[in-house]
Amino acid sequence: MNKPVQSQFAFIIAGGGMAGLSLAYYLSKSSLGDLPILIIDQFPKNKNDKTWCYWSDREEEFDKVAEKSWDSLWFHSQSNQSKLLNISPFQYNKINSGDWYSYVNKQLATKHNIQFLEAKINSFFYKGLGGVVGTDQGDFYASQKVFDSISTFTCDFENPQHIKQHFLGWTIESHFPVFKPESADLFDFRVAFDMECEFMYVLPTSPKKALFEYTFFSGNIRDKTFYRDKLKAYLLAYYGFGEDDYDLLEEEYGVIPMRPMEDDFQNLHVKIIKIGTSGGFVKSTTGYSFLRTQHTLKELVANLEAKNFKALVLKELQFKKWLDKVFLQVFIDQKIAGSKVFESLFFKNSPQKMLRFLEEKTSLREDLSLMLTVPTYPFLSAAIKLFFKGNKLP
Ligand SMILES: Cc1cc2nc3c(=O)[nH]c(=O)nc-3n(C[C@H](O)[C@H](O)[C@H](O)COP(=O)(O)OP(=O)(O)OC[C@H]3O[C@@H](n4cnc5c(N)ncnc54)[C@H](O)[C@@H]3O)c2cc1C
C-alpha cells in the first residue's frame, strides 16, 4: 500500500475490517462508486483471522463465499438431551474471513478511485464542512463522510457485569474420518456445570475437519489456556481424541461486546459515522453482527444515494432493545443457568421462530408468546430490576 498522493476524499473509511470493507464494497457498486474513497487500516487484510457465521432464509450477498452451509443444527442440553433442529428454509453459513477479504478486495481492486492506506489512526475531528482522520502518516480530509469502525464500543472488558461473548476456537484435522458434516452443533451445553452461560460450538466441514469453539456469554474473560484445556477435554470426552489424534490447523480468539447502544442514535446528517462493532451493530444477545452489518450498510448506502440524510444508521425497535436488556440482565444475575434459558426457548419453540427472534424479525405477538416459554421468575426479576434502574444495564 502506497501513501495516497492526495489528502482529500469524498469518503474515508477508518478501519478496513469486516464493516469497513463491506461499506466500501456496497459503495463501489452504487451510483457513488466513482467518488474518491480512502480506506485506512493499520494492518493488511490478507490472513484468515476469524470465522463469520450467519443464518438466513433468503439469498444473501456473500453466500457464494461460504465454505459450508447447513440446514440442520444440533442442540444438546446440559442434561444430555439432544435435538436435531431442521432449520429449513434457513441456512446456517460459515465464511472464512480470509476467503471473504480476497473476494471483496478483488472487487475493490477494479475501482481506481478507491485507495488503501496502511496507517495507525490517532484521531477524528471536524474541519469546515467535512471530517478529518488524523494518522501517523498525516491528516486526511473527507468532504462527505468519515466512517469510523475503530473506536471502542462502550463495553468494559474487565467489568464482570458487562456481558461479552468470549471464546477460543480450534480448527482441527483429525487423523480419522469421524465428523458428520451434514449437521453442525449450534449449542452443546453438556459442558456447562455452573450458572454462567457456556457451551461448545462445533462446525464440521468434512469428515476430518471441524471448528470447535468454547464459548461463554458472560462477564468473566478467562486466560487463553482455560479455553484450550476445555477444548482438549471435550475432544477427549466426545471424540476420544488425544493430542496425537489430530493436527491443530488454526486458532481463533474473540471477545465481542454484548451490550446495546445506549441513547446514541446516529443519522446520516452526522459527518463522522460509527459503523460495525464501534457503531453497535452487534446484536447484543447473540454477539453476531455479520449479516446485520451487511443489511445495515446496504441500506445506509441506498440512503446516501437518495440523499435521505434523516435516515437512521442503525434502526432499532425500542421493544426489541428492551428485551435484549432483560436477557442480558438474566445473564448478569445468574439466578438461572444460562443453558436453561436457551433450552426452554429451543425446546418449546420451532427453530425457525427462534432464528427469526434472534434476528429481530418476529412480531410483537410472537415475541410475547416466546416470552411465555422462558422461566418466569428470573425474567420477571430481571425486568423489575431494570425498571427500577431506569432501564439501564449496570
Ligand atoms: C474471532 C471472531 C469470530 C467472530 N465470529 C462471528 C460470527 O461467526 N458471526 C458474526 O456475525 N460475528 C462474528 N464475530 C463478530 C464480528 O462479526 C466481527 O468482530 C467483525 O470482524 C466486526 O467487524 P468490524 O469491522 O466492526 O471490526 P473488525 O473486523 O475488527 O475491523 C476493525 C478494523 O479496524 C482496524 N483498526 C483498529 N484500530 C485501528 C487504528 N487505530 N488505526 C488503524 N486501523 C485500526 C483493525 O485492524 C481492523 O481491521 C466474530 C468476531 C471475532 C473476533
Residue 361: the pLDDT is 92
Task: Indicate the pTM of the whole model.
Answer: 0.96
331 C-alpha vs ligand 1 centroid, how far in Å? Answer: 24
162 C-alpha vs ligand 1 centroid, how far in Å? Answer: 19
**Candidate of 1, 12, 18, 99 to mutate for ligand 1, largest count of ligand atoms within 8 Å of Cβ:** 18
Its CATH architecture, for the domain 8-49+97-154+264-305, is: 3-Layer(bba) Sandwich (3.50)
290 C-alpha vs ligand 1 centroid, how far in Å? Answer: 10
**Candidate of 221, 290, 292 to mutate for ligand 1, largest count of ligand atoms within 8 Å of Cβ:** 290
- Give the contacts of 259 (CB within 8 A, at least 6 positions apart): 153, 154, 155, 162, 163, 284, 328, 393
Which atom of ligand 1 is the closest one to the Cα of 50? 1
Residue 333: the pLDDT is 95
Residue 153: the pLDDT is 86
Q: Is the model's pLDDT at 268 over the cut of 80?
A: yes
246 C-alpha vs ligand 1 centroid, how far in Å? Answer: 29
Residue 342: the pLDDT is 95
Q: Is the model's pLDDT at 69 over the cut of 90?
A: yes
Per-residue pLDDT tens digits for 138-179: 999 999 999 999 998 888 999 999 999 999 999 999 999 999
Tell me which residues have their CB closer than 6 angstroms to ligand 1: 15-20, 40-43, 50-54, 120-121, 149-150, 252, 254, 256, 276-277, 288-290
| % of the chain exceeding 90 in pLDDT | 91
Own/partner pairs, 333-336, CB within 8 angstroms, 24+ separation: 333/378, 333/381, 333/382, 333/385, 334/195, 334/196, 335/195, 335/377, 335/378, 335/381, 336/195, 336/375, 336/377, 336/378
Residue with the smallest CA separation from ligand 1 atom 50 is: 52
Per-residue pLDDT tens digits for 7-41: 899 999 999 999 999 999 999 999 999 999 999 99
Per-residue pLDDT tens digits for 293-319: 999 999 999 999 999 999 999 987 889
Q: Residue 2: pLDDT band by 50, 70, 90 thresholds?
A: low
Q: Is the model's pLDDT at 264 over the cut of 80?
A: no
Residue 4: the pLDDT is 74
Q: Is the model's pLDDT at 215 over the cut of 60?
A: yes
| % of the chain exceeding 70 in pLDDT | 99
Q: Is the model's pLDDT at 1 over the cut of 60?
A: no
Q: Is the model's pLDDT at 263 over the cut of 80?
A: no
Q: What is the Cα–Cα distance from 184 to 55, expressed in whole angstroms?
A: 13
Which atom of ligand 1 is the closest one to the Cα of 53? 8
**Arithmetic mean of pLDDT, 235-241:** 97
333 C-alpha vs ligand 1 centroid, how far in Å? Answer: 28
Residue 73: the pLDDT is 98
Q: Is the model's pLDDT at 217 over the cut of 60?
A: yes
Q: Are 73 and 202 in contact (CB under 8 A)?
A: no
Residue 173: the pLDDT is 98
Which atom of ligand 1 is the closest one to the Cα of 291? 11
Which atom of ligand 1 is the closest one to the Cα of 283? 11
**Arithmetic mean of pLDDT, 82-93:** 98
Which atom of ligand 1 is the closest one to the Cα of 288? 11
49 C-alpha vs ligand 1 centroid, how far in Å? Answer: 9
Which atom of ligand 1 is the closest one to the Cα of 290? 11
β-pair type (91-96, 68-70): antiparallel
Per-residue pLDDT tens digits for 337-360: 999 999 999 999 999 999 999 999
